[in-house]
Amino acid sequence: MSLLRVEQLNKSFGGIHAVQDLSFEVDPGTIHSVIGPNGAGKTTLFNLVTGVYTPSSGNIFMDDQPIAGRPAHVLARLGMSRTFQNLQICMNMTALENVMVGRHLHLDRRFLPAMLRLPGIVRGDRDCRDKAAELMHFVGTGRYLDSDAASMPYGALKRLEIARALAAEPRLLLLDEPAAGLNANETAEVDVLIQKVAETGVTVVLVEHDMKLVMNISDHILVLDYGKKLAEGTAEAVRHNPDVIAAYLGAA
Amino acid sequence: MRTPRTGGLMLLALIVAAIPWFLPNNFYFEMAILVGINAIVAVGLNLLIGYAGQISLGHAGFFGLGGYCSGILVATYGWPPALALLLGAVGVAVLAFVIARPILRLKGHYLAMATLGLGIIISIVVSTEDWLTGGPDGMYVPPFTLFGWELYGEAVWYWVIGGLLLLAVWLALNIIDSPVGRALRALHGSEVAAQVAGVDTTRAKVRVFVVSAVFAAVMGSLHAHYAGFVTPTSSGFFHSIELVTMVVLGGMASTFGAVVGAAILTVLPQLLTGFEDYEMMVFGLILMLTMIFLPQGLVPTLARVFKRRDQGAGAIPGVDEVDP
Amino acid sequence: MAEFLQYLFSGITVGATYALVGLGFAMIYNASHVINFAQGEFLMIGGMMTVSMLGAGVPMPLAIVAAIVLATVVGLALEKFAVEPARNAEVVTVIIITIGASIFLRGLAQVVWGKEYHALPPFSGDTPISIGGATILPQSLWVLGVTVVVVAALAWFFNRTLLGKAILATSHNRDAAQLVGINTGLVLLISFGLSAALGAIAGIMIAPITLTSYDVGIMLGLKGFVAAVLGGLGSGVGAIVGGLILGITEAMAAGYISSEYKDAVPFVLILLILFFLPNGLFGVRATERV
């Protein structure tokens, strides 16, 4: 049974068909990459899967349950987590608090106990803080434990966002261009991090432009062009696919 | 356990306990009581504006509704004041809950407009239905009694309001330092990030809106009993703006900032009476200048200055949770 | 029928005023994403200054021009000294600043001109003109006429002149405008000046009908804000349509339903509109890119 299944997915913005008739499956425990030229519809696909956009038509299934059009916070409850291409970090909070927000669903979210500071809440927050600190070390941002999010460099923030996404203990993690804006060293670090995450059993789907990274870690690659599926398969298969080469380099 | 927040709370408690020794006469007590009442409303409003990042330019409407509810039920129908206060709080909670969903769908200036409109509608209704509310001149409100014991005199009111202030601040600080509070701040920082983390942002906004409305309504009721009357101005546009200014001036996302802002804005007009005709001008000028030069508000700006002094350069932890 | 026409006339007249005020809001919002809560004060300044000058023996046309110039200067000063320094502050903070400015201006007006109501003589007499059984004041025709002329002039300005197009460009995308060499700081300044002038004109036109005093700016400003939001913040056409709809609805409601709740009508209207159209009538539904 696939963890995530997309069937005949369509999304149009006015006259622009961002995603057309897209179908694919993601198996649990794999690293699945989505690549394609700019404007191919990768981020739109992500936004559709994670509930930020509603499809124009088509279905999305998680564990064979229909989830298309469900709001993002409901999908989080089903075990889905994501990061954003244009960092969505809460700059009004500290780095640790950002990660703690990721654990939201694991905590007591009621108003009244919070207002009265019941012991359960206090304990829960202490554990949450510890877990969040652990995650910050896991992703390599340990030195920013006491920092404000606003004072952290870009590369660290990208990893902080991954920590936040992991804090939810997701089964499915979607990373939107995790290496965007990073130099070669930082990209290599992200490469290692993604593999570490996959080793813990989380299914990873990522959108990326960095071919070296993609070819290196992916179990399965989906190539998009103009919102449609151009090719899919293992890194080897995709790398030698003439359509893919033509799309990226132009037809000979 | 000693933390910055308990330190701040203890300092506030100390101030509340110590102030009476410094107040020469009843007039000053009256000022202190008004500061306390405004501060509690501001603390509630700050949760909405400073932490959740929503704008409300009509909160005085809830304050006025609380006051009129108490006034009408107690003066006209002879209800016990505590019951009237409770009903007012519940009524406002229901109203706030019902309108919160459609209003909070709006963003930025549209939200400002909608809350503004709501506040003004309330104040116009209250001013027009004079058979019920006494019209533009307002209505008389009997003193607050509880099981036969009457709340009377500046000293008694001072301790009641002082106690309530400490309670309100404690409740607010608790919310902020909890999953709910973090969800609210995250919502402000990046609504979509909060959503994918599992925060039901609509529900969170509605709840904090209702909580802040109830704070206002309860204080509106108590104010009516304390002052002995309630008028449409308590629910008017200017009062709403005053409340927002208290929050912004003191420092958004700072509970103690809201208290400071309330103190300043309640006392300032009194200090300016010396300026007589120029009072309005000076007030407007102070408002503009403070917001231009201290856009973060007083308390956060002061906190930054102090923290920089003892830390040198580097990250300033918890800058939005500013406890002295 | 006569009754209906009567309400319609008074509705269109006051609607034209709201349209001009709303237009002022829209212009400033477009240039800076700021809601200028002091907008209403420009109306007040226009009316009161004209009254003052007339009292000092200045002929009407000159007094009007002087008043508009003064209001424009105030608008420019407001932008330069209050809005520009707070460029990067949060929305709420800037709102408080403009509110502070409006309080300041009102306080100043109170000191200079006192608290009384003043009448401005109508431009061409006050004999009501009879149309279809209803009467309309000559001054109302002035209001409508001038509004049409002003709107036409603005349309020409924005569509036909380089400066106007530069302002439009800035409102669509400030960074792009800067990159093509448009001085966006100047654009902002001019927008405020223009809005102030618009407000002053509206205030002067309406003063003979509704009297004027130091605090007329508040309600007119708020209702102009409603008009701008109704039409969709940032849309000039929207502000005009919004203003007219607002004025007519207000007059009809006052006439047929209840005159006591006249002032509540704009706010009930805006709540209803925003409930169904969260971005106003002509507002753009922007999809947030994440």
How many independent structural domains does chain A possess?
A: 2
CATH class of C2-124+138-276: mainly alpha
- pLDDT band at residue C10 under the 50/70/90 scheme: confident
pLDDT over 50 (residue A83): yes
Q: Is the pLDDT of residue C100 over 70?
A: yes
Is it the case that residue B317 has pLDDT exceeding 60?
A: no
Inter-chain Cβ pairs, chain A and chain B, closer than 8 A: 123
**What average pLDDT score do residues B249-261 get?**
90
Query: Is B252 among the domain residues?
Result: no
**Above 80 in pLDDT, residue C264?**
yes
Q: Length of chain B in residues, anyone? A: 324
Question: How many CA atoms, within 13 angstroms, populate the side-chain half-sphere of residue C31?
Answer: 27
Judge if A189 and A73 occupy the same domain.
yes
**Per the domain annotation, does B253 fall within a domain?**
no
Looking at chain B, list the stretches that DSSP marks H as alpha helix, in order from N- to C-terminal side. 4-18, 26-46, 60-70, 81-104, 108-128, 130-133, 154-176, 179-189, 191-196, 201-227, 237-250, 255-272, 279-293, 298-311
> In this predicted structure, what is the pLDDT of residue C158?
84
Rounded mean pLDDT of B119-126? 92
Would you list the DSSP string of chain C? -HHHHHHHHHHHHHHHHHHHHHHHHHHHHHHHS---TTHHHHHHHHHHHHHHHHHTT--HHHHHHHHHHHHHHHHHHHIIIIIGGGTTS-HHHHHHHHHHHHHHHHHHHHHHH-S--B----BTB-PPEEETTEEE-HHHHHHHHHHHHHHHHHHHHHHHSHHHHHHHHHHH-HHHHHHTT--HHHHHHHHHHHHHHHHHHHHHHHHHHH-B-TTTHHHHHHHHHHHHHHH-TT-HHHHHHHHHHHHHHHHHIIIII-STTGGGHHHHHHHHHHHH-TT-SS---PPPP-
For residue C171, the model assigns a pLDDT of 77
Average pLDDT over residues C161-175: 82
pLDDT tens for each residue of B54-76:
889 999 999 999 999 999 999 88
The pLDDT tens digits for C11-39 are 998 899 999 999 988 888 887 788 888 99
**Which structural domain, as residue segments, surrounds residue B94?**
4-237
Q: Is the CB of residue B196 less than 8 Å away from at least one CB of chain C? A: no
Q: Which residue has the higher pLDDT, C259 or C201?
A: C201
**Closest to B174 in 3D by CA, of A130, A105, A125:** A125
Residues A187 and A252 in one domain: yes
Is the model's pLDDT at B315 over the cut of 80? Answer: no
Cβ-based contacts under 8 A for chains A and C: 9
**CA closest to C33 among chain B residues:** B109
Separation CA B263–CA B247 (nearest Å): 11
Query: With an 8 Å Cβ cutoff, are A85 and C287 in contact?
Result: no
Q: Give the lowest-confidence range in B37-46, B263-272, C72-81.
A: B263-272
Rg (CA), chain A: 19
Tens-place pLDDT, residues C52-91: 888 888 888 888 999 999 999 999 999 998 888 887 777 7
List chains touching B (3+ CB pairs under 8 A): A, C
What is the pairing mode between strands A4-13 and A16-26?
antiparallel
> pLDDT band for position A162 (50/70/90)?
very high
Helix (H, G, I), strand (E, B) or coil at B235: helix
A215: enclosing H helix or E strand:
helix A211-217
For chain B, give the mean pLDDT. 87
Sheet (strand A65-66) strand order: A16-26, A4-13, A57-62, A65-66
Token pair for A117? 């500071």
Tell me, what's the pLDDT at C70? 93
Which chains would you list as touching A if contact means 3+ CB atom pairs under 8 Å? Answer: B, C
- Checking if the pLDDT of B188 tops 60, the result is yes
Region for C141 from its dihedrals, namely left if φ exceeds 0, alpha if ψ lies in -120 to 50, beta otherwise: alpha
Question: What pLDDT was estimated at residue B313?
Answer: 44
Averaging pLDDT over each range in A36-50, A57-71, A219-233, B80-94, which range is the top one? B80-94
Point out the domain boundary residue: A134, A169, A204: A169
Q: Quick one: residue A250, left, alpha or beta (phi over 0 = left, psi -120 to 50 = alpha)?
A: left
Domain count, chain B: 1
Shortest distance, CA A71 to any CA of chain B (angstroms): 8
Question: In this structure, are residues C199 and C71 in contact, taking their beta carbons and an 8 Å threshold?
Answer: yes
Q: What is the pLDDT of residue C289?
A: 60
Nearest beta carbon to residue A73 from set B174, B195, B319: B195
CATH number, residue A196: 3.40.50.300
Mean pLDDT score, B166-182: 92
> In this complex, do A52 and C287 lie within 8 Å of one another by their Cβ atoms?
no
d(CA C74, CA B312): 43
Nearest chain A CA: its distance from C290 CA (Å): 6
A196 and A214 housed in the same domain: yes
Mean pLDDT of B287-299: 86
User: How, if at all, do strands A203-207 and A31-35 pair?
Assistant: parallel
- Token readout for B284 is 């407007």
pLDDT digits (tens, 9 = 90+) for A98-132: 999 999 999 988 888 888 989 999 999 999 999 99
In chain C, what percentage of residues exceed pLDDT 70?
98
Q: Domain boundaries in chain C?
A: 2-124+138-276
Longest dimension (CA), chain B: 64
What is the average pLDDT across A68-88? Answer: 91
Mean pLDDT over C235-261 rounds to: 88
Could you tell me which residue, B283 or C248, shows the higher pLDDT? C248
Do both A104 and A155 map to the same domain? yes
Q: What is the mean pLDDT of residues B235-253?
A: 89
The kind and range of the H/E element at A81 are strand A80-82
pLDDT score for C130: 81
The C-alpha torsion from B77 through B79 and B83 to B87, rounded to 10°, is 0
Would you call C88 an interface residue with chain A, using a CB distance cutoff of 8 Å?
no
What is the pLDDT averaged over residues B106-125? 87
Q: Does any domain span residue B270?
A: no
Residue from the list C102, C229, C261 with its beta carbon closest to the beta carbon of B113: C229
Residue B164 phi, psi (nearest 5):
-65, -35
Mean pLDDT score, A9-31: 89
Contacts (Cβ under 8 Å, ≥6 apart) of B56:
B45, B48, B49, B111, B115, B209, B212, B240, B244
Q: Is the pLDDT of residue B2 over 50?
A: no
The pTM is what? 0.88
Task: Give the pLDDT score at B316.
Answer: 43
Whether the Cβ atoms of residue A161 and residue A88 lie closer than 8 Å to each other: yes
Q: How far is Cα C4 from Cα C1, in angstroms, rounded to an integer?
A: 5
**Is B249 within the bounds of a domain?**
no
Domain assignment present for residue B75? The answer is yes
Residues A185 and A70 in one domain: yes
Domain that holds residue A123: 87-169
| Structure confidence at residue B91 as a pLDDT band (50, 70, 90) | very high
Query: Region A173-199: what's the mean pLDDT?
Result: 89
* For the ranges A233-242, B140-149, C102-111, the one whose mean pLDDT is highest: C102-111
- Check residues A230 and B63 and name the one with the higher pLDDT: B63
What's the token pair of residue C130? Answer: 């009879």
Q: Do C226 and B121 touch (CB under 8 A)?
A: no
pLDDT for res C54:
86
B132 touches chain C (CB under 8 A): no
With contacts defined as CB-CB under 8 Å, which chain C residues touch A207? Answer: none
Average pLDDT on C193-220 reads: 87
Q: Quick check: is B202 in a domain?
A: yes
Instruction: Tell whether A49 and A5 lie within a shared domain.
Output: yes
Mean pLDDT (chain C) is: 86
| B243 domain-assigned | no
pLDDT at B324 over 60: no
- Residue B73 within any structural domain of the chain: yes
Residues in C touching B103 (Cβ below 8 Å): 274
